[in-house]
Amino acid sequence: MSTSINVGLAQIAPAWLKRDATLSRVAEQVVAAAEAGCELVVFGEALVPGYPFWVERTDGARFESDLQKALYAHYAKEAVRIDRGDLNALCSTAATHRISIYLGTIERAGDRGGHSLYCSMVYIGKDGEIGSVHRKLMPTYEERLVWAIGDGHGLRVHQLGAFTVGGLNCWENWLPLTRSALYAQGEDLHVAIWPGSDRNTHDITRFIARESRSFVVSVSGLMHADDIDDDLPHAELLRSSAEGWLANGGSCVAGPDGEWRLEPETCKASLRVVELDHREVLEARHNLDVVGHYSRPDVTRLKVNRKRQSTASFDD
């Protein structure tokens, strides 16, 4: 079996706040990545239908604001309902082209009543099956005004050729215990997805790679003020509150030695492909394996709750 795989980094902008149009863009990139020989293609955080850039720009914390209610209602309407089949077509595309996908979505979770929104990282395998849905554990700062708090159910890894791949959303990549939950499952290809900024990806990508002795693929979205369409609610206000790039990308890849394989790229839509060789992981683990020979489970251990949280259980 080959020890190498090709991974595609799809740095694109959404059709902002439009689920179906954005999923069409995603599908196009999936096909392009498959044609380029990729076994995995990765997209940014909250790409479908887009990151809530309005919150910090339109007084998002104002209580009982008609503006914030209207924007949230539109966001919820365009969010992804996995239980409704919103990702079925994309799953079929993955199966047809035999390629795996990591996709950042805003999930309207039916198992939590169907109205609250979660920042979810969805893994779709090359068989077209959804392997995991990781709901962001702790939304960052103003994100908490529109996103609910997730759980540990999606802290899972997946076999991809010689690699074991897992991933996290944005700033939860900074959480050492959460990273360790993936390391402990054998992760050696870490996927970090971001709404889009090289200020986020530039340092932590190389740090996680160096810490874990793994490949780290950071993928970001793009968003420019010009991407705010006229038919969105309060479009004129949203456009006037934004200047230039709201998300400038910064997608990149670091090797197990912490050195760049692809340096951060900004202000440009692209599909970049990188070849990763698992032998480099084995070489790097010779002197440091943070959950293997360099760990002391008799002294420090981590307990992880992967139960999907729910408000009620019913016995019929």
Residue range 10-49, pLDDT digits in tens: 999 999 999 999 999 999 999 999 999 999 999 999 999 9
Query: For 51, what's the count of Cα atoms within 13 Å in the CB-facing half-sphere?
Result: 31
Residue range 194-215, pLDDT digits in tens: 999 999 999 999 999 999 999 9
In-domain check, residue 309: no
Question: Tokens 């689920």 map to which residue?
Answer: 19
In-domain check, residue 314: no
pLDDT at 101 over 90: yes
Alpha carbon distance 172, 147 (integer Å): 14
Q: Which residues are catalytic?
A: 45, 136, 170
In-domain check, residue 148: yes
The domain that contains 31 carries what CATH number?
A: 3.60.110.10
Host domain of residue 277: 4-284
Beta-bridge partners for 191: 167, 217
Alpha carbon distance 153, 238 (integer Å): 35
In-domain check, residue 315: no
Beta-bridge partners for 108: 117
Indicate the number of domains in the chain: 1
Residue range 275-295, pLDDT digits in tens: 999 999 999 999 999 999 999
Range 122-131 average pLDDT: 98
pLDDT of residue 183: 98
Mark residue 186 as left, alpha or beta (left: phi above 0; alpha: psi -120 to 50; beta: remaining): left
pLDDT of residue 243: 86
Asked if residues 215 and 276 have their Cβ atoms less than 8 Å apart, the reply is: yes
In-domain check, residue 196: yes
In-domain check, residue 106: yes
Coil, strand, or helix at residue 262? strand
Buried b or exposed e, range 244-260, using 16+ CB within 10 angstroms: ebbbbbbbbbbbbebee
In-domain check, residue 275: yes
Residue range 79-98, pLDDT digits in tens: 999 999 999 999 999 999 99
Categorize the per-residue pLDDT at 1 as very low, low, confident or very high, splitting at 50, 70 and 90.
confident
- List own/partner pairs for 228-232 with CB under 8 A and 24 or more apart: 228/16, 229/15, 229/16, 229/18, 232/16, 232/17, 232/74
pLDDT at 309 over 90: yes
In-domain check, residue 290: no
Beta-bridge partners for 130: 124
Scanning the chain, the segments in alpha helix (DSSP H) are: 19-35, 66-78, 88-97, 176-183, 198-212, 235-240, 279-284
Of 99, 78, 82, 81, residue with least CA distance to 32: 99
Categorize the per-residue pLDDT at 251 as very low, low, confident or very high, splitting at 50, 70 and 90.
very high
pLDDT of residue 250: 98
pLDDT of residue 173: 98
